Every structure is written in C-alpha cells, then in structure tokens.
Structure 1
Amino acid sequence: MSNKAKARVIGFRKINEGLIKLRMVFSALVLFIVMSSIWQLNSFQEVKDSQQWITHSHEVVAAIESILSAVKDEETSYRGYIISKGDQRFLAPYQPARSVIDKNLVRLQFLVSDNPKQVKNAEVFRDTVYVRQAIIDEGLQKLIDSKDFSKFDSRAFNAGRDSMEKTRSLADSMESEEKALLDKRNETGLKSSEFVDKSLWMSLLINLALAAIAYLVLKRNAENQTEEKWLQENLADLAVKLSGDLDLEELGKKTLQFFGTSLAAPISSLYYVDTSNLRRIASYGFDEENLVGSRERDLDEGLLGEVAQNKQAYWMAPPPANYLKVNSDLGSGSVTILAIIPLILEGRTIAVMEIGLFERRSNGLEKLIERASEIIARNIASAENRSRLQNLLEETQAQAEELQTQQEELRVTNEELTEQATALSLSQDKLIQQQEELRQTNDQLEDQARILRDQQENLEEKAVELQAAKTALEERAKALQQASHYKSEFLANMSHELRTPLNSMLILSTLLQENADGNLSEEQISFASTIHNAGNDLLTLINDILDLAKVEAGKLDIYIENINLSSMAEGLKKSFVPLALSKNLQFNVVLEDDMPSEMSCDQKRLEQILRNFLSNAFKFTERGEISLRIARPSAELPLVRNSTNRQGLIAFHVADTGIGIPAEKQKIIFEAFSQADSSTSRRYGGTGLGLTICRELAALLGGELIVTSEFGKGSVFSLVIPELAGEIEPMETHNLPDQGRLAAPVSVVSKSLVSSSESTGHVSHRVPDDRDTIIDGDKVVLIVEDDPAFLKILASAAKKCGFKVLCAVDGDQALADLKTFKPSGVLLDMKLPGVSGLGLIEAIKSSSETRHIPVHVISGIDVSQNALRMGALGYLMKPVSPDQLKGAFQKIEDMISRRVRRVLIVEDDERQRHAIARLIQGSDVKTDAVGLASEAQELIRKNTYDCMILDLRLPDKSGLELLDAISHDRGTVRPPVIVYTGKELSRDEILQLRRYSDSIIIKGVKSPERLVDEVSLFLHRVEAHLPENQQQLLIESRKGTKPFNGQKVLLVDDDLRNTFALMSALEPKGLKIQVARNGFEALAKLDAIEGIDLVLMDIMMPGMDGYTAMREIRKNPLRQSLPVIALTAKAMRGDQEKCLEAGANDYLPKPIDMERLMSVLKAWLPQAGEF
C-alpha cells in the first residue's frame, strides 16, 4: 500500500470516529427532549387536576351558600306572611326558594360524593332542611286554613328557628371543611405550578447546554475534517515529492523544502543516523558555514543525539536567544518554536529532523509532522537500501578490476622475491648482530624499571604517612574545638554554682548591714560590710571569668555608637585623677589635634579596655607619671590588621614608668590566668584575666593590642582600632601574633544585629539622638526600645512632634539617661534587655525626682493593667499606626504643657468631699465634687479629667456600676480612677474593681497620706512644687509602711541558703513566702495552696527544671495571668529569651540585687492597702 493510500485510510477512520460521536450527542439530545416533554405533560396534568379540584371546592361552597340563601328567602316569606296577617304577596318567593333548595341539595350530594365525611354531613344537612320545611309547611298550612292569626302557634315558630340555627351550623361546618380542602388544594396547585415553572427553566437550560455541546461537537468535527483534509493534502503532496529514486541528500532537500512551503518553516535541517554518529544530509533556509555544530557529530552529543536515542520528539518554545536567526532583505528575526523530531521505522531511529517555526504550536502541526515522519522514514530507508545496493554493485566491479591488477602485480612480485632472497641472506648476519645489541639494551631497561618501582614504593609510603598526619591534625583540631566548647560551657555552669551561694551571702550581709532590728554593734555591722565587700570582689572575679567565657563562646554583645573623643577622654581623666593624687603620680591625657571629634565604636567596651590599661598602670607604678595619648598610629607601630590604611585607625597609648615587663614574658601576659611573674599576684593581686579579656574585646572591635616594655623602666600598652565600625575587617586567628590572637574569627555588620549563628560577636548600632545638643528648656522625650529599626521610626515621629530625642536600647541605659538628662516624657517598650519595662516604670515612679515624668507605653505584650496602675499615661499595643504615634506624643505634650490638672471627686458625704478637696488642693489642681453617680457621669461626658476619686457607696448606684456604665459609654473617656472607700472589700470585689480602677485605697489611719501619694502620681505633679503640708504627707506615707500586705509568693529554689536569704529579706516587707525545691513541688504547691499571687522560679534544679515548670504552669488556663519571675545564675546571652519563651513575665540574674527585686515585685504585685 502506497503512502498516499495509507494517509487516506487514516483520514477516513478519523471522519468515521467523528460521525459516531456526533450521532451519540444527537441521540442523547433527542432522548432528553422526549423524556422532558413527557415529564412536563405529567406536570401540566397535575396542575390541571389541581385546578379542577379547586373549582370543585368553590362549587360545593356555592351550593351551600345557595341553599342557605334559599332557606333565608323561604323563612323571610313565611315571617312576612305572618306579620302581614295573610298578605299573599309575601308567599310569592316561597315556592321558588323551595325549588332552589331541592335542586342544590341534590347537586350538593353529587359534588361531595368523593368525600365520605362531607357525604355524611350533606345527608344530615338535607334531613335538617327537610325537617325545618315540614315544620314551616305545617304551621303555614294551619294559618292558611284557619285564617286566624291570633291563634299563631309560637312553639312551631320557635322549632323552626332552632331548626334554622342547626341548618346554619351544619352549613358552616361543611363550608369550613371544604375551605380547608380548598386551602390545601390551592397550596398543592401553587407548588405544582412552581414545579412546572422550574422544570421548564431547567429543561430550557439543559436543552441549551445540549445544543451548545452539539454545536461544539459539530464545530470540532468540522474542524477535524478540515484539519484531516489539510493533512491528507499535505501528506499526499509530500508523498509525490518523495517518489522516485532519490539519494539521501536529494531526499533530505525535498523533505525540508516541503516543510518550508507547507508549514512555513523558515529554517530546518535533517540528520541521518549512521551507526554511532549523526550526519547532516540536508539544510534549508541558512548558510551551513554559520552553524555552530559540525556536519557530523557523535550520537550521544547534544539534543539531537538525546532525541535519537530516546525516540521522543522535543519541542522548545521559545528557543534561547543565541539560536540561529532568519535573515532576508527585509529584516531578521528568531523562530518562536524549535522542534526536534525522530524519524522512526520499525523501532529504529532512521534520522532526526530539526525544524524552526514562527507560528505557534498546534495539534494539526504536530499530527502533520508525526504522520509525515513515518513517510519520510520509509523513503529514507528505501534510499538507504538503494544506496547500499548501488555501493555493493560498484564494490563488486571494483573488486574484479582489482583482481586483474593483483595478478599482474603477483608476477612482478615473484621476480622481485628472487632478487630479495639473495639480499636476505646478506642481511641475516647483520640481524643477528642487532639482536645481541637489543638484548643488552633490554637488560639496561629492566634495571631502570626496578629502580623506578623502588622509588614509587617509597613515594606511596610517604603519601600514607602524610595522610595519617593530616588525619591526626584534623582530629586534634576537632578535639581543641570541643575542648574550647567544654571550657565555655563549664565556666557558664560554674558561674551558676558560684553565684548561688554568693547570692545568699550578699543578701544576708545586706540585711545585717541594714540592722533593721537595731541589735547589732558597730563592729558587727563592720564585719557584715566586710563580708559584703568581699562578696562583691568575688562577683567581679566571676564576671571577668564570664566575660572571657562569653567572648570565647561568641555570646558577647557589641553596641556600635558615635563616641565624642573629647568627652570620653575627659571622663577617663576625672575617674583616675583622684587615684593619681593619692599615689602622688602625674597623670596626663593628650588628644592630638588631627583627631576627629567623633568615632564609631562600642564606648562601654572601649572604656573597659582603657580602664584596664590605666588600672594596671597605676597598680604597677610607684613613682613617675602615667599618660593616655590618643593619636594616629605611627609608621613604626607593628600592626598586623589594617596595616595598609593607618589614616583610618586611631591608637590609644597608655604609658607608665612602672616596673616594666621582661621581654621573654611579654608574650604570655595576654594568656588567661597568666602574669609576668608569679610574685606579682602575691604583691599586687589580680587573676591575669584582664589583659586576656582586653585582647578578645580589641579583636571584636576590629583592632589589636601592642605592648612595648623595658624591664624596670616602664611599659606602653597600645590599642589600635578603626575610626569607623563599618571598616572592621574579618580576622583569621592564625595570621595574628600570640598576643593578638582571638578564639575565633569575627565579622562586624554596620547596620544590623549579627546573630550568634553568623558571628562570634553580636554587634548592633545605637540609633543617633540629640543628647549632645540638649539645652535647658528643650522638650525632651526618652524612647526606650530594643528594636533599632522601630526605635528610628519612633525617634523620627517624636522629632516631627517638636521633641528632642534620647534613645536607649535597654532599661539600664534608660535609668542612666533619666538621672543625667531629666527628660520631659518617656516612651518605652515592656520587653527590654536588663531592667524590664514594668521595672523601669516602678523605678521612675518610686523616685521623687522622676515620678512626675509622664510615661507612655508602646509594646507587643499586654500588661496594660499593671502599667496604668503604676502611673503610665497611656498604653498602645504594637503594631501602631502613625496617627496612634502622633496621639501618644500629643498626650505627653498635653501633660507637660498643661499647668492645671482637673480632678473629679465622687463622694456622697459632703464633709468627706470638702475634706478630700482640701487634702489635694493646690494652685495646679482644680477639683469638681459631686455626690451622685449620674452627676459624675454627666460631668465626665462634658469635661476631660486627669483623675477621678470614687467612693463605692453612692445613693443612686454603686461605684462599680458607675465604672461599668462609663466603660460602655462610647462618647466618654474614662480617667484614671482611685477607689477611696471605707467598705471592706472581698477578693472577688477587688478583682472586679481591677478591671476599671488604677488604685484602691481603704480608708484608715494612713489613707489620707496614700491618697495624696496616688493623686500626685496620676496627675504627674512635681513633688518639690507641692504645698508644704502635702509634701509632709508624702513623707509620712512612705515612712515605716511595708510595701506589701500579706501577698503570697511561691519561691522555687533547690538551694536552702538561697531560700533562707530571700525569705529573710522578703517576709519583713509584708510578703508570705511558700517554698518549693523543684518544679514538681512547685506545681503541687500551686494546686494545694489557693491565692498565690506570684512565683519566683529558679532555673537550674533537680528533677524538673525551671523552664519545664514554667511551661507546665502556663498549660493551665487558670494560671495564664499568674506572674512568674525567673531567677538564673547562668547569665549567658539567650537566657532571658529562653525564660520569656518558657512563660516567665520577667527575669532577674543572680546574685539578686534587692532594689531591683523589690521594683519587679512592686510592678507585678498590688500595693499595700489593696487587699
């Protein structure tokens, strides 16, 4: 069968498949139309039946009404005849009415014959009507016969009336029954009608859908036929073009010309598969000299080889930009589709065709290429077979000609052999001689090969030894790294074991120094002071060890900020001048003229290094002078890091005329626990850690330390660091001399925090602020936020509102700035490193110098109730909008600019109202006093108050109800509330009041003093500006009053010394302490003891540690709000975050600072007088 015939058969088969699908679609459409028509006819019949039954019910009701009407006419005629005493005109309607009654009674019985109940009712109705007619007929006949109306029998008339009432009753009953049926049939008819409407619409939609499907099938069938016709025409054209005895090149050329004309393929090529390679036999549309590939290539090379081996077509749309472009006189462009088609015949790849197209890929295109590929493959196979036969024929002819030539050559060869035989005998002797020479050469080569084998064996042995040495070095490096890790972990754990007893010693010695009971002598107090000082010295040593451990473990934080060199130098000078005077030494600080005014560095760590240098200088210098010189590093200074750019460096030189350091000892002084001489430790003290820490800190700051010294004459210690922190370069430890080597390389990032996983040091930049430009009279706001990005946003917003800004990233820095600058307001976060936000508020409000400063909170955690109770001006939850930020700064602005504060007093007792007003009066306070809750509510709607003093017992409603009403009034802003009442409150009542009230004061002996204290707190009044009597009340309120009043605290610690020390310190403050030794006991105590107000949780405990215990506490929904304060002595970076993640509300490191502990407790516990 020819290629053309095969193409036709395939086309007819496709057409038949399309016709079968078309018949199936039309059959389904006709079947659905028939079924839906039958269904609709049944639905119409149901509607028609329903309408007939409705009409039937109307006819029954009409028949009953007609009967009743006729009965009434009959009765009216009868009565008219009686009343008119025989007037025959009244009897005219009598007989027609009788006829109507009989006719409708018969019709009624016929109509209700389908309903047994109505049939029975109709029979009774008929009998009743007939009985009544008989009574009327009898009475009427008597009157007609007698003509004596005076003898009218009223009994018969009454009997007729009773019969009429019964008739009406029966008629009403039948009408009711029929109307009920009518309602039911109406409902059924309505449902049937709705169902028919819905079915019509559904049928219409389905018919439309089927019609659309039929249309799509017809359209697709037509498209398929058109496509099939197009395919047949092109395949037939291809078959005609490839017919005849064509060789491979001519066949390939005509094939590609066909695709160029039929498919508008501008470029193409055809490769013949020849055993293990591909050979290009034809190309179309381009110059072969411009091709990237060669004419022949390996079968496993490139996409062509992959397609030939996988026997799968490969389409690429679009191809990469560097593919061959199509050029003509009108322009050039790239094809959008690249197709690589394998030509397969009987499972073997005959050839591979590569076609480039401009048109998009389609099914018709793929089908044409697929069908054409088989035709092309067959023709190529035929051409291949013809070429093979032609080659065989030519080879046979060539072999015959060659045979004749060989015979002639054989004759000539025989003649030559005869001549060569003679020459061979002559050369044989010469060959024997050459063999002997060759044997000698082989012996020499064997000797050389043996020598080479010996050398190779020696090299292999050395390679094994080198590999073993390398492995040993790697294991040693790992062991050193692990040892360093173990050392850091050991030091961190040891700090816990050291701080735990030290904590007890410091707390108890502090209590002894205070001598609260007054039973210790001066000598005993001095002993306690000595113990406390010794404990602090031990704490300093532990902190030094921890600093070293933190550096080596990569957990030391570096904070980058702008440092004023002149101010820092002046500060160092002021610190050490008293020591120089006491030792009669000359002390000079020199800042060279070419120094910049500022540099970028961590001021705390920089000063730590310089103070260590200066302390050592003063320690080891008995006479002469000490100097600190700040200058550029000289060319003679031997630098290892940053040695090429000395202008970007600053050198700090500390020179002394002390004992000096021997040359052989200068390398070991920077090693931990090492000193220049063992006697130094005994004479001067110290551990040898200071310079080690300085070396590590210098490396973290991107610098290095250099020491030059002459024994007996003095020393010069130099610190060289970059002027700008961004210029710190990473440092490899093996490139440094011993005195400058770090535990690990360090990298510094100039604008963001570097996590411990990325660097051994943790570096952050403080946000620049206005601290150097603040003058008296400026409005200054202190912003405390540990997120530098958000801190910048807050600082920018504050400046837009007219404030100068102080920026602090932790609570400790904030406290220092408060003492130094006395800002106008404070904006702070709750979750801060070091002192927490609540602890910071408590510290601010507990000092008479700062308690008037308004504090506004912006935080991601909600402790607003505690913060507002402690005197915060406002509380915003993150994230905040620009409008909210503006509102917060506006609140601070209003509070500091307003000179008069307004207070609302709500008290039913008039004398009490006047007494409270007099108690808190002042030039800066205006009071409004009312006795009713309704009056207070009205005033709050009209005015803005800074504080409200509220009694709970009011005539019209309770104070709690008033607070609830204010909180639900959207148009009212609730001021801070101080509940001032004489009522004894239960715990539940106090918890209810806590939702609204910022302070609760029970009237008593000390209550006026506390009221003045609380009012001045919420009004942010400067204590020094209060009237003399109010200042005296404040002094009295703080004198001899316990800060707590019986609140229960659960102390969880396994160390009895710690529990004893903390109980001794806290119980005199008014707290009730319960003790647990581990997490299990803590959970048991919480279950067994009601009303625990706070938990102090140690971390490292046997059994269940503090982290696990806190997580277990938070699993109980009833303990979600229970304050938990974590206590830890490990003091490594990340401990605070771990505690807070485990469920702690706050965090304190050991040894515990009692003032800080009291601040935290006051922040999380209610004050005395509230319970």
Structure 2
Amino acid sequence: MPSQASRRKKISIRTKILSGNIIVMICLGIAIGALSMRISSLQDEIEYISSHDIQVHETVNQIQKDLLDMETGLRGFIISGDESYLEPYNSGKARWQTDTNKLKSLVIDNPAQVRNTESIESGLVDWMTNASENAIAYKRSGDTEKLTRFFAEKTGKDRTDALRIQLQSFKETEFGLTEARAASLKDRNESLIGLLYLLWIVVAAISVSTAWIISNTVIKTIRTVSTTIRQIAHQGESLKQRIEVNTRDEMMELGDSTNALLDMLERQNRRKDQVAHIATLLQEQNDIDAVGRQFLSQLVQVFNLPYGVVYVRSQSNQLVKTASFAQSSDNFGRKEFQLGEGLVGQCAAENRTIVLRDVPSGYAAIQSGIGQASPTVVALVPITFERRVVGVIEIGSFSGLARDDIELLEQLGGMLGVTIQSVKSRMEMEQLYTEAQAANEELQVQSEELNAQSLELLTMNDELKRSSNFKSEFLANMSHELRTPLNSMLILSQMLAENRQGHLSEDDISYVNTIYSAGNDLLNLINDILDLSKVEAGKLDIEMGNIILADLQLTVLSNFQEVAAKKKLDFAVTIAPDTPAWLETDGFRLQQILKNLLSNAFKFTEAGKVDLLIGVHANNAWGQQEIAFTVADTGKGIANDKLELIFEAFTQADSGTARKFGGTGLGLTISSSLANMLGGRIEVQSEEGKGSEFTLYLPAQRSIGQSDEAMASKQLATSSSSLAAADPVSIAVSEMPLSTAELRGRHVLLVDDDARNLYALSHVLESLEMTFTIAHDGLESMDRLRNGDTYDCILMDIMMPDMDGFQAIHEIRHTLQLSTPIIAVTAKAMKEDRDKCLEAGANAYISKPVQVQQLISIMVAQMKVEV
C-alpha cells in the first residue's frame, strides 16, 4: 500500500489527461509551425517561377518579335520602296533597347545569361548599324548596285541568323533553369508530405501512448475493485480481502473508498451476527428475568461494558429492575422508577435515547478484585414494542460509545422489546389457557343453548328470506300490472291533449290533462314504492359522475318555475360565490332528492317564497368540506315533536283522515335513504307557522377551478342536459324532430297481449304514417316472421302467455337468424329487466308507461343504424 506522504502527492487523472493533451497539442503546434514555414517557402518559389521565369520567357519572345518585325518592315520597304513598310521596323527599333534592358535586369542573378543578353544587344546594334540602316539608305538613294551587292553578300542575313541562334539558346537555357526549379519544388513537396506523415505518426504515437497509460491505470484499478466485489458476492468470502492501488490519482481514492466500504460491511456483518446470536439465545427463554440476564450477559460482551441494568415496565406502569450485570451490592441500581422519574423514567416517558458523557467520578462505582472506578459514559436506551416503551436499558462504559454503537443499542432495544412482549403474551396465554379450561364446561352448556337458538334463528331467517322474496315478486308483479293499464291511459290522454283534429274543447283538453296528471301521479307512486323497496333490499344502483352546479341550477329553475307561477310564489335558485363549479355524485339521484324537497316546499307553502341555496359547508365533525343544498320555504312549518317522524315511510306531519295535503309520505323517506347512499345526510329546521329549511349535505369529493368551466361545460353537456325533465303532456308529434320523417311508410311488427296497449300504440304509429302488423303473443310473432314477412322494426312486449318476450327475442336472433331491430316495450321496470332484454338480443328497451317522444327517438335511432 502507498504511504500517506505519497497519497498526499497524488497526480489526478484529470492532470494526466490534461498533460497528455498538452503534449499532443505542443507536437501539433510544432508540426503546424514547420508546415507553415515549409508552405511559405514553397509559396515563395512558386511565386518566383510564376513572376520571374515567365517574364524572362515573355521578354525573350518580345525581343524575337522585335527582330522579326524589323526584318519584315525592312524587307517590305526594300521591295516596295514605300516608307509605310518601315513602321514595324521603326517600332521594333524603338522597343529593342527597353526589352534588352528588362531582360538584363531579370537575369541579373545569372552572370552567364547577363553576358548572353549583352551579346544579343551588341548583335542587334551591329545588324542595325552595318546592315539594316545601310540597306534602307541604298533604297532611299536608289543605289541599286549597292543594294544588289548587299543582298548578294548576305550581310544582314548572317547577322539575323546569328541573333536568332543566340535568342534560341537563351530561351533554352531559361527553360532548363525553370525545369530545374520545378523539379526542386516537386522534391520539396514530396519531402513536406513525408514530414507530415512522420509528424502524424509521432502525434498518434504520443496520443495512443498517453491514452493507453491513463486508461490502463483506470481499468486496472476498476478491474481490481470489481473482481474483489465479485469474489465477495459469489464466493461468500468473509470481507477480509482489500484492494491495493499503487497509482496516485482518483483510482487510489476509489480503492480507499472501497476498502472503507468493506470495513463498514465487515463491521455491520459482525454486528448482525452478534444480534442474530443474541436473538437466538433470547428465544429459548420463557421467563422475563431470565431474558434480562441473558440479554445483559451478551450485551456486555459485544460492547465490552463494565456494568448494565435492565428495567421492565409492569402492568402498573412502573419500571422495575429485572436484571443487572457486575452488581457490587444490593443497592446497585434502584429497584423501580415511575414514568418521568429520574433519567430512567424520563427515557421511558420520552421514548428516546439519553447519553451522558464526561460522567463525574463517584457517579457509579464499578468494582473488580483489584480496585474500582467510575464509567466515563452512561447511556439509557428505551426498550420498545410497536412504538410503545416496555422497558429501559442502562449501561456504562470506560471507553465511550460511537454513533453506530448507539444505533446498534437502539436496534437491540427493539429486539428485546419484541422478546419481552412475546414472553408476556406467552405467559398470558398460559394463564388464559388455564382459565379457558376451567370455563370450558360452562361454555359447553352454553353451546348447547346457542345451538338451539341458532336453529330457531335459521328458521326465522328462512322465513324472512321467503317474505323478502315474496315482497320483491309482489312489487315486481304489481308494478307490471299497474304500468300496463297506465301505459294505454297515458299514451291516449297524451294524444287527446294534442287535439290534432280540433274536436275537443278547452274543457275537454283540461279534463284530459287531469287524467294524464292523475296517471302520472300514480306512476310516481309506483316509482316511489319501487325505489323504497330497492333501498331496503340494498339493490339501488348509484352511478357517480361529475355534474356542473350551474347546469343543475338551470334545470331546477325550468322544472319549478311554472309551479311557482301557478301558486304565485317567489322562487330562486342561488349558488354561493365560493362554491366549486363541479360536484362528484349521482346526478339523477341528486335531482330526485331536490325534486322531492322542492315539491314538498311548494305543496305546503300558500304564500311567500321558496328558495334553493347551494353553497359550501365546513363539517368540523368529518373534517372535510361539504356542498349544502338548502330548500327554504315560508309555509306552515312542522311541529318539533314531528320532525323525526317525517322521514319514516308512509308518515306525514299533517296526518289523519281530514288532512289538507295529499301524498304517500314516501318522498322524504326515499330522499333520506338516497342521501345516505351518496355519502351525505338531510337535516331539517322548522318553526310552526313560519316555514321550514331542509338541507342536503353531500361531500365535496372533487372540484375544479373556474378556469376549467368552459371545458367542463363542453364535456358534460350531455350529462347535464339529461337532468332536465319536460312535461310529457306538452309534447306533441308536430314538435318532434324532423328525423321522424324517416319513419313514414316503415312497417312495424307490434307484439302485445293487452288490447289497450295495442290500441294506444297503433294510434301512435298511425299518427307517424307508419304501417303495422299485430301479433298477440310470441308464438304468433314467430309464425308471421317464418312466413317471410319483413319488418323495419319489432315492438316486443315481455310479459305474454305461451311464449314471453325473452324467449321470442332469443328465437328471432338464434333460430331465425334475423337482425331486425327489436325494441322491448314492457311494464317490468327493474334494472335487471332491462339487462335481461338486452342480453336476450333486444336492441333497445323502454318501460311502460311509454313516453311517445322517447319511443319515436329510439325507433329513429335503431332504423338509422339498420339503414
């Protein structure tokens, strides 16, 4: 392992990586500098070739051209004698000196070429002086003889040929020099490329070496750490192995941290083994005193303690000394403490560990054979079971206690608490077992009596079940028998109220409306009785959903404004400003409760007003917010002695044969039961002669802010519109949707065994200009369908002789394999009846008495689907 000094002088991995990168960057900088210098040199050579050699070649060419122009002009003048032919000659003569001087300056660095340039210059001078000028003079003077001799002696030609040879030699020399420079440039480029490759290899080697060295250091240490951990995990070693790291970087810190972790795990495992050993020994004890002695014996070995005391909580809530270690006298440790008394009592009262450090001498005397001394640290740890203090451990130490020692003591205190509670429970069970054996004989006698009573209760239970079943069957049959005649009565009265032929007077229409109203009241009575029976049987379904209180406000106003106007009462529905926009409840049942409360308020109010206030109410008893629906009226009020009676079935405050107000007394009973099913309640306050206040409280389970109201209104438009209930009498066929035109001419199979219903429904179909065929039971409907008759829709009654509607629908779907829409029209109004109809194969369900608009809407929807 590296020494501490070497560890302090560590070189971090970051430093190594930065050093390697700096070296690479230096090498790259050197390479870039050398490359820049070489490129600059090549650029100079290229510029020299492009600017110098090309100018030399161009200047030589220009001198050749000057010579050629002078010869051409001289030849033209000699032949023609025209002075204009001497213009090229004169131009060349004017330029040659400038061109030769330029050429001489370009090759100034080459003495041989300078001499060649001077030779060309002297040759031009000699040709012009001794040849061309003489020939021009001969021509101008007309001396033909001299001119002939001049050409015969070839004086000018020899000189011009010599000049051409000199110029060509000069050019060849320059071309050679240019080619030599180009070859040198090429060689240097190849050297530059080779240098670049060499530099790349050097930089790559440095980079790879640096990365290899650093990564090898990191990977080696990581592999060492992972190998050690893997060996510990898979081979079950005893955590003795440690990691050795020789590098002076973060890997050394990783190795040290891993070794520290291994040290901690080793300590924890050792403590766990000690705790497990103590727990095993304690499980073998059956006496609390023995448990305390065994626990202290093991505890002082684990922590190397000189003394210890265990106090256990008695049934009288006193902390009684149960065991001690190294007790020097009978007075070693008090016998008992009250809760809150002394440090022992305070430790138990506060259920927290108390540690005293730097304990003064003489606080406690710990003796041995050769002397005595006081501990330097005293600790008191509560013994707990399920967060309840069942005792206290007090220990002393000469060397002090570390934080993990205190945590282990607290853990051991919890374990000891479980053991003490287990021993107490075992002792109590033994005592109870003894008492149970003593009482067994008495229980046997009582058991025989209970058996006899059980048989009697079973008999009574069977009778109650039979009674309940009889009641349910009676209500279902009674509902069917009442709804069947009501169906025809309501449909026919509704059609008469329309007065489409105009035969009825206003009094006749009033009579018809009265008949309809009476039938509708009877229907409401049937519904109330069914609801009450469902509530009592626990079969009333609650469908929770989100309703918007603003929509509920509009619905209630529309339902009761006409009633308030007829009775000349003020009516208002108000929502308090701090009320949430939404409420999670069953909207239909909520409307049913409010309708009952408001109907009663209008019934018992002759003058004044009826109000519905919706607001927030804080229920201190439940600890949550509630939405309060308060129906207040200025009616006759209710006597205090009758406030409790009004919620009982078939009971009214205004009872007796001479009572003024009618009703069954079921509305408040059903409303109270529905409120309880919705998680709320109904409270009433009333003063006789001044009015009443009925308040429905519902839990505000979920609400949203005003910012979401627009979206909420859109999402719940359908559900909120379903709260509105229109008066069936006011509905006429002429006011129905334009989609009813689709029913005109359609053929319907009408299946019912009741002539009154057939009469009523046939008139509805005739008013819609539909054709229909009547079948009086399921067997007759099957015969008509087997004969090949086709129908656009089938209206099927359920309760029929021979073959009921369920069986008929099943046969149509499975035997005849027909997909004709079937609408079940039945007086069986229970939810399970609707489910049975749909399960049998019906497309839709409508209960009697039939609402004409609802029937037409269902037929339109089903025939659209069929089309």
Q: TM-score, normalised by structure 2?
A: 0.43
Whichever of the two has the greater Rg, that structure is 2
Looking at both structures, which has the greater relative contact order when contacts are Cα pairs under 8 Å and sequence separation is at least 6?
2
Q: TM-score, normalised by structure 1?
A: 0.33
